[in-house]
Structure 1
Amino acid sequence: MTTLGAVFRPQLPPERLRSVARAADDAGLDQLWLWEDCFLESGIAAAAAALAWTHHLTVGVGLLPVPLRNVALTAMETATLHRLFPGRVHLGVGHGVQDWMAQAGAHTASPLTLLREHLDALRALLAGERVTVQGRYVTLDDVRLDYPPTTPAPVLAGARGPRTLHLTGQAADGTLLDAGMGVEGVARARRLADQGREDAGRTGHHPVTAYLLAATGADATARMDAELHSENLPPGTGVAGDAQTIAHAVRRMADAGADTVVLQPTADEPDPEGFVRFAARQVRPLLR
């Protein structure tokens, strides 16, 4: 069965997170995903709060922009969450939006090199290794976490372009795809990530998590059309309609290679709590 999630978009104020997270938990949603978009809300702080407010819900952060983060700090925060809430955390890292990185004084000449160095160091630290590295961007001198995770702590990486998608297969534990990819993009990403994994001599399944723009309700089509226009996304990237329509779109994403599909509401979703309940109680049963 495809794992189903939903997004709490950071366009909502942070104080709204509690009711949305509890609604998702009570309804039995598999996953709730958060964003660390500039300059809205912190992914780690929001994840810690959502996990503390809920009992069963898995919380993901997709994604943490690595130009803003020292890898040792990322490892410390990630390990802390995994030890406090074992088995309920998914974290992704990625390039971040380059214009935002420049605004924050964190622009890098080679985002791909930075992401590779960050992934290698982060995964080693979370595995409890003692790490010394002198890279182009990442420097660590005899660093080891005192409290590494006691359960597996997979690190996902966000990607869109072919070189980054190949890298996620080589150096990450899973690939995270944004809502602009569509079905064909998911299939392409699956091929490139799997090729990267094969080239690196890694074995086992490489999970892919994909966002899917979704809207339901009387004005769903109008809201979806406006969202696609504002984000400059092609028609057909998102889905608007009832549970059957959205479940069909989720199955298409799964058939293309997504293990987890995360429903992303429009920025003007009028009922975020209702949206997560709809995903859990109406769409999820249709995926069995």
Structure 2
Amino acid sequence: MDTGHVGVWHPLLSKAPVQQVRRAAAEIEELGYGALWGNEAPGSKEPFVNAALLLAATERAAVGIGIASIWGRDATATAAAWATLAEAFPGRFLLGLGVSHSPLVSGRGHTYIKPLAAMRAYLDGIDAAKPEVPQGDAPRLLAALKPKMLELSRDRAEGAHTYFVPPEHTALARQILGPDRLLVPEQAVVVETDPARAREIARTYMSYYLVLPNYLNNLRDLGFTDDDFADGGSDRLVDAIVAWGDAEAVAGRVRDHLAAGADHVAIQPLSPLPDLDDALAQLKTLAPALGL
């Protein structure tokens, strides 16, 4: 599978009206980005159906789910959906699976306990269903931050999809995954050179994640403290999580992830308001600096 080194992760690829998403997907592909990443979150479209829409709207780009919650459907249903998309779009679909977060899981009526064991059991269920997916044709990735989930990504999947992480985490993840597993970090970006404005946009985005224990615990392991999490995030934390500045500065952060061991970086252009047009404008600006 050829995803290129840079793709696009954006929640509106899973939420915006279908016709708008189709147009945006085709334009992102035309700009040279190698993959499009949708997600599963409150208010989003069903992730496998949405992946099919994105795949049908494009010709070459890979499409990944980052991620489908294991609490959203049983393992047999996931295996069937995975096999269906792998057959319909050979070499273009990436299955991302994750344990999600306690507030989101409880909102679906489930109990969030022993997430690592839950993921192992879910993978057992997928494998028991024997989905007909050719080796390497539709890679299975796990959402992973901490060492044990990264080890599971190495041992039971083709790699890991990481989120809300700086390049320092990418280097640690690569050490655990080894050289032959895919590593796909997400990187939030803002093409904005004014520090106050860029950090304001970044903090609005980060506020959702700075109340989720999985992300906070991972950031603590990287040396951040509760002081960094207060008041929307310290400048140090904001600058570590969100790449901002001119196009070359943002591209530099992508290169940092690649140098740290990423195979593909999924950038997420942030806007003051949810707006695919603004995201596309930033992607156009960034494409030459990214070498696309």
- TM-score when normalising by structure 2: 0.79
Are positions 1:173 and 2:158 aligned together? yes
Partner of 1:38: helix, strand, or coil?
coil
Superposition deviation, residue 2 in structure 1: 6.4
Superposition deviation, residue 36 in structure 1: 0.8
Aligned to 1:224: 202
Query: Over the residues paired in the alignment, what is the CA RMSD in angstroms?
Result: 2.4
The ranges of structure 1 where at least 4 consecutive aligned residues each deviate by more than 4 angstroms after the TM superposition are 217-220
Are positions 1:5 and 2:10 aligned together? no
Native 8 Å contact 1:23 1:277 kept in 2: no
Aligned to 1:209: 184
Could you report, residue by residue, the CA deviation over 1:109-140 in whole angstroms, capped at 9, with x for unpaired residues? 22111111222443x3xxxxxx3xxxxxxxxx
Distance 1:166 1:254, change over 3 A: same
- Residue ranges of structure 2 left out of the alignment (5+ in a row): 211-232
Superposition deviation, residue 253 in structure 1: 0.9
Which of residues 28, 31, 34 in structure 2 aligns to 1:27?
A: 31
Are positions 1:235 and 2:242 aligned together? no
Aligned to 2:172: 188
Could you report, residue by residue, the CA deviation over 1:137-168 in whole angstroms, capped at 9, with x for unpaired residues? xxxxxx445xx235622200001122212221
Could you report, residue by residue, the CA deviation over 1:16-73 in whole angstroms, capped at 9, with x for unpaired residues? 3112101112222111110111342221111100111111111111111112221111
1:206-285 equivalent positions in 2, closer than 5 A = 206-217=181-192, 221=198, 222-229=200-207, 231-232=209-210, 234-236=237-239, 237-266=241-270, 268=273, 270=275, 271-279=278-286, 281-285=287-291
Q: 2:282 corresponds to which letter in structure 1?
A: F
Q: 1:235 corresponds to which letter in structure 2?
A: V
**Aligned residue pair count:** 255
Superposition deviation, residue 75 in structure 1: 0.8
Partner of 1:91: helix, strand, or coil?
strand
Which of residues 43, 63, 68 in structure 2 aligns to 1:64?
A: 68
Partner of 1:156: helix, strand, or coil?
strand
Could you report, residue by residue, the CA deviation over 1:61-89 in whole angstroms, capped at 9, with x for unpaired residues? 11111122211110111111111111111
C-alpha distance in 2 between matches for 1:103 and 1:223: 27
- Residue ranges of structure 1 left out of the alignment (5+ in a row): 125-130, 132-142, 195-203
C-alpha distance in 2 between matches for 1:34 and 1:64: 9
C-alpha distance in 2 between matches for 1:278 and 1:12: 24
Superposition deviation, residue 169 in structure 1: 1.4
Aligned to 2:94: 90
Aligned to 1:156: 141
Superposition deviation, residue 259 in structure 1: 1.0
Partner of 2:63: helix, strand, or coil?
strand
- TM-score when normalising by structure 1: 0.80
Q: 2:66 corresponds to which letter in structure 1?
A: G
Q: 1:285 corresponds to which letter in structure 2?
A: G
Partner of 1:254: helix, strand, or coil?
helix
C-alpha distance in 1 between matches for 2:62 and 2:284: 15
Aligned to 2:119: 115
